[in-house]
């Protein structure tokens, strides 16, 4: 699930502008000019204002209106990769995967090095359970130098996991953590790069993420996700006690506390 954070919008109150006087008639009043009116803004300022309005609509989850706003913006700049990418996200949130795919591909056509659009094509395939296709797009996206590589590696791990390829998933998660140790703890927000948050087997996924943190020696996060695995019904969470990947953190009090509560189910899942 993608939780979107609302933008905080600051409203600046300004005093009414001074009235200009006609030099030939000091008592005459010139009409008040309101600089805030759209017709008095420069084309660049109007574009910026319209783009801000679209971002606010996205933050408010008003995706239908946001899509309309981005469509209007693109009429004056049809090759703006960033706008096309945001249009794709709006359509994806609306469940219109055909329009979303077209928008993402137009963004990539406009900028072949736009990693976010390539990633988002992967997220679109992932949401439709086309995991092999998602892996293909994520692998392309992660090769592009970009500030969101940690998120993309994480998404690649999700896709490998959902395709039952656990070893590559663990490797991808490890690369994500090497870039950003808190990549799995970030709150979702309105941005350019879609981050995976869903899985059909969340308990097992949490266990794999716990393993990834444990391998780095991060006991705090390992304990957190091991607890998530336990609470989400992963039956073999106690395998961490003897799993070599947990060796660096297994004696940590926070990890040991996870084993203090034993859910009522048999441990019959296959070990990862």
Residue listed under structure tokens 């359970």? 129
Q: Averaged over 129-133, what is the pLDDT?
A: 97
**pLDDT digit string (tens) for 3-30?**
333 323 232 333 333 333 443 444 444 4
* Cα(197)–Cα(155) distance, integer angstroms: 9
In a domain, 84, yes or no: yes
In a domain, 51, yes or no: yes
Q: Averaged over 246-253, what is the pLDDT?
A: 97
In a domain, 80, yes or no: yes
Higher pLDDT, 189 or 185: 185
pLDDT band at 38 (very low <50, low <70, confident <90, very high): low
What's the CATH number where 101 sits?
1.25.40.10
Q: How high is the pLDDT of residue 188?
A: 61
In a domain, 6, yes or no: no
Q: How high is the pLDDT of residue 236?
A: 94
**Domain encompassing residue 105:** 44-112
Q: Averaged over 104-125, what is the pLDDT?
A: 97
Least confident of 61-75, 136-150, 256-270: 256-270
Q: Averaged over 238-264, what is the pLDDT?
A: 94
Q: How high is the pLDDT of residue 197?
A: 86
* Cα(226)–Cα(23) distance, integer angstroms: 78
Q: How high is the pLDDT of residue 265?
A: 58
Total number of domains constituting the chain: 1
Q: How high is the pLDDT of residue 41?
A: 78
Q: Averaged over 54-62, what is the pLDDT?
A: 94
In a domain, 201, yes or no: no
pLDDT band at 245 (very low <50, low <70, confident <90, very high): very high
Torsion of CA 195, 201, 204, 210, to 10 degrees: 20
Name the nearest CA neighbour of 126 among 100, 91, 162, 154. 162
């Amino acid at each position: 699930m993608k939780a979107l954070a609302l933008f905080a919008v600051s409203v600046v109150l300004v005093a009414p502008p001074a009235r200009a006087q006609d030099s030939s008639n000091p008592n005459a009043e010139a009409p008040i000019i309101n600089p805030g009116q759209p017709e008095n803004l420069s084309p660049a300022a109007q574009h910026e204002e319209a783009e801000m309005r679209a971002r606010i609509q996205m933050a408010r989850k008003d995706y239908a209106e946001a899509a309309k706003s981005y469509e209007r913006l693109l009429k004056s700049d049809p090759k703006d990769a960033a706008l096309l990418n945001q249009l794709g996200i709006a359509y994806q949130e609306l469940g219109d995967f055909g329009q979303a795919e077209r928008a993402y591909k137009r963004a990539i056509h406009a900028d072949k090095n736009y990693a976010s659009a390539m990633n988002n094509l992967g997220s679109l395939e992932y949401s439709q359970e086309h995991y092999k296709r998602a892996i293909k797009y994520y692998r392309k996206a992660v090769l592009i130098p970009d500030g969101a590589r940690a998120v993309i590696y994480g998404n690649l791990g999700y896709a490998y996991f959902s395709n039952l390829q656990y070893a590559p998933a663990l490797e991808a998660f490890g690369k994500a953590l090497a870039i950003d140790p808190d990549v799995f703890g970030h709150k979702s927000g309105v941005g350019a790069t879609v981050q995976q948050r869903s899985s059909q087997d969340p308990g097992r996924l949490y266990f794999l993420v716990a393993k990834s943190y444990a391998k780095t020696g991060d006991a705090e996060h390992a304990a957190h996700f091991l607890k998530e695995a336990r609470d989400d019904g992963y039956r073999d969470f106690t395998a961490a006690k003897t799993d070599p990947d947990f060796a660096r953190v297994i004696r940590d009090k926070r990890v040991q506390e996870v084993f203090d509560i034993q859910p009522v189910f048999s441990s019959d899942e296959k070990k990862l």
